[in-house]
Amino acid sequence: MTVKEYVKDRSLFLLANFILFIVLCGILLLTNMGSSVILPIFCIWFFPVLTYMMIEFFRQKMFYNELSSILDSLDQKYLLSEVMKEPETVEGKLLYDVLRQVDKDMHEHVKSYKERENEYREYIEAWVHEIKTPIASSRLIIANNPNAVTRNIQDEIKKIEEYIEQVLYYSRSNHVGKDYLIKEIPLADLVRTVIKRNSRDFISKGIIVDMEAVAGMAYSDAKWLEFIVNQLIGNAIKYTPEHHGKVTIHTARNENNIVLTIEDNGIGITKKDIDRVFEKGFTGENGRKFGGSTGIGLYLCKKLAEQLGLGLTLTSKAGEGTKVSLTFPLGSVSFMQ
């Protein structure tokens, strides 16, 4: 709050005092009391008024500055009424009471929405686990009746499983800390596991995979990390042409981190789409061209990587392929073997 703002707010009060003073001066002049008494009366009148306004201005300025400072230091702004001191002024007390009431009402609404979110998330997780039973039964039926048709059905079931897994991880993406177990993960073993999961796709599309240059240890959650890498390799397979495609996976040890890179020679990403690939729901030109893209995969990978303290970057050029790098900070890795 500035002096100009304060004076503007008190302009009606000052105007009323000036009008009354002018009226009094007019009465004095009409009664022939002389103009010599006007200056003393002005001083006697306005000195207490201006003194009071100055004191009030500094009190209010200190109060609002303290309020602003507390607000800036809070991560959760709605807690302002919980940490601020109760003011001494009538206006400040009214503001304090209003903030307390608003804060109470907001807490009740937030609690209600959190309960709804938890119920919905619990239902999704329960649904995911329940649906695994008919999928497992379908796989058993397919295994007992091998033919061209059932093999195609098996490929479609694999896609269903991937979408279900995506739903599960999406529902848990805001609660990583509740389902997180840090342990040492050999990156080569992690990559082999993911490649094995996608082996049928590599074989059916005739895509060569090179992971000879993968080495090093990461410290993270194996389950969440496997999901991220699986999504990235799955994208590489999806957008790499059949029979002459190649996916190269390698690691590089730098001074402050270790970088796991997944590189393909696929169709790449257009320049106008490259900056939006991590946006939620963005499918881009490739998604519209190939279909089946939800725009959730890379968004979810980015979100989970950030929560795990990892870096995720993507570079690409249309017609030349895509390179995605997952960066493990020095504090989360050991020296490469």
More confident of the two residues 38 and 278: 278
pLDDT at residue 337 in the model: 41
More confident of the two residues 199 and 44: 199
Most distant pair of Cα atoms in the chain: their distance:
121
Query: Measured between alpha carbons, how far is 334 from 328 in angstroms, rounded to an integer?
Result: 10
Residue corresponding to tokens 């106008």: 272
pLDDT of 2 over the 50 cut: yes
Question: What confidence category does residue 175 fall into, taking pLDDT thresholds of 50, 70 and 90?
Answer: confident
Question: Looking at this protein, which amino acid is placed at residue 127?
Answer: W
Tens of pLDDT, residue by residue over 296-331, are 889 999 999 998 889 999 999 888 899 999 999 875
In the chain, what is the straight-line distance between the N-terminal and C-terminal CA atoms, in Å?
61
Q: Are 89 and 63 in contact (CB under 8 A)?
A: yes
- Residues of the chain with pLDDT > 70: what percent? 92
Instruction: List the domains of the chain with CATH numbers.
Output: 3-107 (no CATH), 176-332 (3.30.565.10)
pTM of the predicted model over 0.85? no
pLDDT at residue 332 in the model: 47
pLDDT at residue 49 in the model: 82
